[in-house]
Structure 1
């Protein structure tokens, strides 16, 4: 049987520098949350134009803490896109509030003022808007609308490190944003996340919430020459990041600009290769910003002669590891008890889209092969 070399959908950019940085953290004897985490918070916040960064164990825990900080709970509604990884909706349930699914824009996969307004009610206390796959939503429009409605806007920037909106980093001007460093993202710490915001008091409370509600951090206690008797001010969580992860993250921050530039070059070449194939619509920059192309997805229009699952199967047969498009949370068993408003665009995108390989090891020959498979299927 012939062995086909597989083109992976994603490869994290990790090298000897990250390995040495992690080893240095281990050798230091300080492997829990400590000085490297503090430095990572400061440098990441500066990179995305926020006043404060609070490192956490994942973007999911960051979103959870954001809702806790906002005081959301039973009886409150939070508008979220169904077209998102399920964690976006799950965190709403984690605080006892009710997720309300809104539809998205076909071109960007993002919430709009109109789709939010169609489902919000007097019980709506917040919106979690996702910069889907790194494509920035219209920050100016959504922030203005949220202010007018009197609701909080939480930005799920899990995929958006390196993306821009209106010429500035995603994160600039955000009331609160949560970021992911999962291996599928442009930069990674293995697992891990960050919450960014400009409010100093909010950042102080988030740091307490991530560390069991202690009024003084473990790092501060260990650094003190005198015994410190900590107090636990509220019921909280263990959502900390380790110094080993932060050491890797600090190296990754130095790679971000180069990785985004390379991904955009690869995406531009995909656009050229796929331009002549009828029925394929690749993701592009919106008018108001630039995507980091964390994911390069294509939408199959009605005139494309093959369905999404058939295309995925043929790509796999020919050595290409692609993925289905972004999931629709309201179609998952976990949300079978929810009857949302009509979500025709969400259901079309999740049914008719797929994610193509895009990473630093992708070659022009790889891209030619992938485009060739898609072109062959269009001709059949």
Structure 2
């Protein structure tokens, strides 16, 4: 079986987890602090705050900005449902706009038309690791006085050119960027997330809210030579990362450049071998973007049945996934009135498939997938 994804975890990660377990401190502690510092340095962010997953990161981002009932947040329906759910958790309303069919990212031209007097933020998703048009989106956000949050769940290691300089996604362009370390992502801690920002006040709020609103973290309490009593200043959450996860994450960070380079090589192989197949649309990487290729999505000819193609490939030992879901088609959001046409989002879900891509993928694996897909297209 050629899987859709395969995390690269080895003895280094196992030994790091073992050391954390044997240290006696397994909840949020020194490994989390070190992971935050190393992640911030890697992406070029002044602050990074580790949390339990990217969904909680997105919710904390909205909570720290005091977004709640009566507010609207513009985002793409064409994203994992966690993006929309994080808005709903805060009692705010997601306003869905369509995507650019070439990059599968939110169409910045349509964002401007979606802004109303109730709009408080834009959540822009770097879909499948392809950076969205941050230059356009930051300009819109600044002009209209609203917050830009980057859903960078898939984008650890991706880069974008800003004013001629290449920068990693996570260096603050909007107010906050949120990352995932799920096993389907380029680097993993099993579960886990991270928020980056340039705003020290937002970082303070993240740290307060992730730990029940506790005024003194337990790491400070346990390390103090004096007895300290904490207060609970706000209604917070238990959104903490464990030291075991963070220890694994630190080793994964060391691998990130290698993992991205290998994925980019696999994506280039797909582009070269599939580029001339009639009717197959490949993902577009803008000149100002360098994707980590967390996923590799191809658009099938309309004449082909998506599920049938996927089953044919599965019968030959190749795992695929359907195109990224659309939240507005799911039960929690289907009853809402949607002000904007979402045709490209729906077409992408219905006619695209994700092909296997991971760092350990061999040339033989790649050619096997390409040959099997070619036979499907020309049968």
Distance in structure 2 (CA, Å) of the matches to 1:274 and 1:113: 29
Residue number among 79, 87, 94 corresponding to 1:84 in the alignment? 79
Q: CA deviation at 1:316?
A: 0.5
Contact in 1 for aligned 2:112/2:140 (Cα 8 Å): no
Deviation digits for residues 174-224 of structure 1, max 9, x if unmatched?
321100000000000000000000111211121010000011101111111
Deviation digits for residues 4-49 of structure 1, max 9, x if unmatched?
xx11010001000000000000000000000110010011011111
Q: 1:155 to 1:82 in 2, by over 3 A?
A: same
Q: CA deviation at 1:324?
A: 0.5
Alignment of 1:132-151 (within 5 A): 132-151=127-146
Distance in structure 2 (CA, Å) of the matches to 1:121 and 1:348: 27
- Residue in 1 aligned with 2:196? 196
- Residue in 2 aligned with 1:315? 313
Contact in 2 for aligned 1:267/1:293 (Cα 8 Å): yes
Q: CA deviation at 1:169?
A: 0.6
Distance in structure 2 (CA, Å) of the matches to 1:150 and 1:225: 46
- Residue in 2 aligned with 1:344? 343
Is 1:154 paired with 2:153?
Answer: no
Q: CA deviation at 1:173?
A: 2.8
Deviation digits for residues 201-257 of structure 1, max 9, x if unmatched?
211121010000011101111111111100111111000000000000000000000
Contact in 1 for aligned 2:212/2:236 (Cα 8 Å): yes
SS of the counterpart of 1:37?
helix
Distance in structure 2 (CA, Å) of the matches to 1:182 and 1:113: 27
- Residue in 2 aligned with 1:249? 249
- Residue in 1 aligned with 2:325? 327
Distance in structure 1 (CA, Å) of the matches to 2:284 and 2:257: 19
- Residue in 2 aligned with 1:370? 369
Distance in structure 2 (CA, Å) of the matches to 1:169 and 1:360: 19
- Residue in 2 aligned with 1:3? none
Task: Please give the TM-score of this superposition, normalised by the length of structure 2.
Answer: 0.97
SS of the counterpart of 1:78?
strand
Contact in 2 for aligned 1:266/1:358 (Cα 8 Å): yes
Alignment of 1:269-288 (within 5 A): 269-288=269-288
Contact in 2 for aligned 1:157/1:177 (Cα 8 Å): yes
Moved over 3 A (4+): none
Q: CA RMSD in A?
A: 1.0
Distance in structure 2 (CA, Å) of the matches to 1:310 and 1:136: 31
Distance in structure 2 (CA, Å) of the matches to 1:251 and 1:47: 13
- Residue in 1 aligned with 2:182? 182
Q: CA deviation at 1:116?
A: 1.0
Distance in structure 2 (CA, Å) of the matches to 1:206 and 1:172: 17
Distance in structure 2 (CA, Å) of the matches to 1:372 and 1:40: 41
Say how many residue pairs are matched.
373
Distance in structure 1 (CA, Å) of the matches to 2:127 and 2:363: 26
Contact in 2 for aligned 1:112/1:142 (Cα 8 Å): no
SS of the counterpart of 1:153?
strand
SS of the counterpart of 2:45?
coil
- Residue in 2 aligned with 1:52? 47
Q: CA deviation at 1:360?
A: 2.0
- Residue in 1 aligned with 2:352? 353
Distance in structure 2 (CA, Å) of the matches to 1:184 and 1:278: 30
Indicate the larger mover: 328-337 or 37-46: 328-337
